[in-house]
Homo-oligomer: A and B are copies of this chain.
């Protein structure tokens, strides 16, 4: 399975209005607070890895999960090894990593509103300290990647956005870029 995802900077109020006009289904809203860690024995920026503790709050309930992301194994499809599991207590997960010598490097906080439109998930992300972005994504098999990408571009255009504005940098990358 491949995840096809296109992300552009956008005015979220304008996009939300457009989605309402189109009659897109609003499917949820969450707040995600992600703490990314530096390792004591490796430079994750060089190894292209990430260790994250995420808190996701939906309807007042908060769930924590730990995630390891490995380096890109195939750059065209942006495929990575990823291991993620919910943990009962996020503070304890933080304490385990910090005691092992990992240090909080950056926190990415975003408010995410989800819509469903034309076979795609459209996510309106308000990322603290970074800006507002729209992500259009879907899953497909290998043969369908190109068509899925074209379809995502069409959805962007329907929303009044320009596929040429696409950014491939992660929110963490954008945040650290802003800070440097």
Contact = CB atoms under 8 A, between A and B. Distances in A.
Interface of A: 39-42, 49, 51, 66-68, 70, 81, 83-89, 92-93, 95-96, 99-101
A89 B93 CA distance: 14
Nearest to A67: B96
Pick the most buried of A66, A67, A84, A85: most chain B CB atoms within 10 A of its CB: A85
The 10 A-B pairs at the shortest CB distance, nearest first, are namely A41-B41, A85-B92, A85-B89, A86-B88, A83-B95, A68-B96, A87-B87, A83-B92, A85-B88, A40-B41
Name the prevailing secondary structure of the A interface residues.
mixed
A68 B99 contact: yes
Contacts of A93: 66, 85
Contact of A99 (B41, B81, B87): B81
A101 to B, nearest CB: 6
Contacts of A42: 101
Nearest to A68: B96
A80 to B, nearest CB: 11
